[in-house]
Structure 1
Amino acid sequence: LGAAMQTYMQSAMAQVMTQFAGAMQQVIAGSIDFSGMSGQIEQQLRDQLSQQIGQQIQQQLLPALTQAISSQLQTQLGAAMQTYMQSAMAQVMTQFAGAMQQQVSSAMNSYMTRLAGNMSSAMGIDQSAFADAFQMNMDENELAELMASLMSTEQSSYDNNMKKLGWADYAKPASIDIYPKDFPSKQNVIDILDTYNDRMESNGEEGKVVSYTDIVGALMSSVTTIVNMISYVLVAFVAISLVVSSIMIGVITYISVLERKKEIGILRSIGASKGDISRVFNAETIIVGFTAGVIGIGLTALACIPANAIVYSLFDVRNVAILPWQAAVVLVGISMLLTFLAGLIPSSAASRKDPVEALRSE
C-alpha cells in the first residue's frame, strides 16, 4: 500500500509541476515588452542612414529595416529567454518535487507504521477456541492414504488401473524378467544382450537397443565391495600381528644367543667360522617359521570343516570356506621368510662373539 501510494503521489506531483512550468513560461514570455526595443533600433538606424544616404531613400528603407531587425531580435531573444526559463523551471520543479516526495513518503511511512501497530493490538486469537474449531474425522491410516493419493502424480486412466490390477498385453511388454539358473548362464545372457546392442548401434538403429539392468550383478558388486573392505581391514590386523610376532621371534632368538654363549665358544674353538654360527641360528629360525606355518595351515584346514557344515545347514550353500593348496604353500613360505628376517640380527650378533669370552661365560 505504501509503495502504491508513493507511486500515485509521484505521478500527481509530476502532472502539477508540468502544468505550473507551462503557465510560468507563458507568463514570463508575455511579460517582456519589445516595443521600446523597436523604437531604439529605429532611432539608431535613422542616425546611421542620415549620414550615408539621402532623405528619400532613408524614408523608404528605414521602416523595412526596423521591422526586420526588430522581428529577428525579438525571435532570438524570446527563444533564448524561453530556453533559460525552461532549464531554470526544470531545476526548481525537480528540487520541489523531491522535497514534496520525501515529505509525503515519510508521512505515509509513519502513518502505515501506526496503522500496523494499531491493527496488531486491535486483533487477537483465542487459541483454545481456534483449536476446538477443527475436528479430524479420519484416523492415522486413512489420513496417510489420503495424503499418498494427493501426492501421486500418476494420471488415472483405464490402462493404468488395469496395470495396477496385474493385466498385461503380451504384444506390448513394458519389461521382461530373465532368471538364469546360475552365474555362468547369467553371464551368457549378458553377452548375448551386449552383442545385440553392439550390432544395432553399428547399424544405426539406436531405437532397437535393449536397456537392461543386471540386478544380481549390482548386488554382487556391492557385496564384493563390502567384502573387500572387510578383507583389507583384516589384512591390516594380520600385518600388525605378523610384525609383532616377528619382533617377538627376534627377541627370543637374541635371548637364545645370550644363553648359548658357551656353545658358541665351543663351536668357534673346534673350527666353526662366523658364517657357520650365523647359519646355525638362521636354520633354527627357519625351522621355527616352517613349523609355525604348518601348524597354522593345519588348524585352518580343520576349521573349514565345521564352518562349511554350519553354513550348509543354515543356508544350503556348499564349500564356503576353502583353503587351496597353492595358498597353503605360499603362507608357509611367508612364515619362513618372516622368521628368517627376524633372526638375522641375533644370528649376526652371535657370529661376532669372541670365542675366548664366550668360553669364559657360565
Structure 2
Amino acid sequence: MKIAVLPGDGIGPEIVAQAVRVLERLRADGLAIEMEHAPIGGAGYDASGDPLPDATLALAQAADAVLLGAVGGPQYDTLDRPLRPERGLLRIRKALNLFANLRPALLYPELAGASTLKPEVVSGLDIMIVRELTGDIYFGQPRGIHVNEQGEREGFNTMRYSESEIRRIGHVAFQIAQKRNKKLCSVDKANVLECTEFWKEIMIDVAKAYPDVELSHMYVDNAAMQLVRAPKQFDVIVTGNIFGDILSDEASMLTGSIGMLPSASLDQANKGLYEPCHGSAPDIAGRNIANPLATILSVAMMLRYTFGLEDAALRVEHAVKRVLAQGYRTADIAEAGMEKVSTSGMGDAVLAAM
C-alpha cells in the first residue's frame, strides 16, 4: 500500500505525524505499507515556488492513497491567486479526479457536552455528507474580475454541472445510503438556480436504480436550518460543491469540534485523498496542542474505502473511542475533570489503545 504523505502547513505537520505513527504501528503488525513525504500548499510554494510542485503531484498520482494535513497561512495571502496554498489543494483534487467527498459528522457519546447544542438534540448523531468536489461554481468557466460595459468593475463566477457529473456523485451517495439507513436527502436551490433544478431532475432519475433508498429533497437554506434544529432527521446528504462545503462545516460543529472529523475524497476506482475537515490553524501551529484525532480517523477511512481493510479501520476507530472513554482530551474538546493532553500525548494514547 503506497501512501503519499503531504503534511502541508500550520498544524498539518504536527497532526500528520501522529497519523503516521498509527500507520507505522499497523505496518509493524503486518500491513504492507510504504510512505513517502512531499510538500504541498505553502510548503510547496516555499520549496519550489508552486503550491503543487510537479514532484508532489507525480508522487500522489503514483500512490494508492494520499494523506494530507492542511494548507494555508496568512503569510501567503498576498501571493497572486494561482500561487496561494488553496490553489494547490484544488489542483490536486482535479488532477486526481477526486469527485466524491465523504464527510461524516459523528458525535461520540463522551463528547455530547462539547457540542453547542443541547445533548438531547445531538446525542446519537451520525450523518454522512457526500459532496461533489470537482465541479460547480468553484471550477465553472467563465470566471474572473473585469470592467463591464458600464465601466464598473465586477466579479463573476459560473455555477455549472454536467449530467454525467451529477449521475456519478448520485450513484456514490445512493450506494452509501444502501449501506446505512437507506435514507438520502439531496440538497439544492432548485427554486432559484437552474443548475440545481437540473441537479434535482437527475437525482430523481438516478433514484430509479435504488428502489430500496428513500430519496428526499431540501433547499439549501432550509437544510442549514434543519441541521441545527433537528440534525438527527438526516442520514446521508448529497449536494454540490459549494453547498457541501458550507453544510459539512456546519455539521462538523454539531459534534463539538471540527478537530474530530475526518474526510475522504475518492475517484471512481476508490483511490482517495484523506484529510481532516479542519484547516491549518496557524494561530496554534507549533504549540503541540492541536487535535490529531480527525487525521487519525482519516487513516481509518483510508483503510476502509481505498484498501478495503475493515478490521484495520475498526481497530483505529475503536482506539479513538477508547481514549475518549478514558477521559483524554486535547484543548479543543477539553472538559472539567478530563485529562488534558498535547497533540503528541493524544497520539501516545491512541497507540496505547491500539
With normalisation by structure 1, the TM-score equals: 0.14
Larger radius of gyration: 1
Q: When you count strand as a share of all residues, which structure comes out higher?
A: 2
Task: Tell me the TM-score normalized by structure 2.
Answer: 0.15
| Structure having the larger proportion of residues in helix | 1
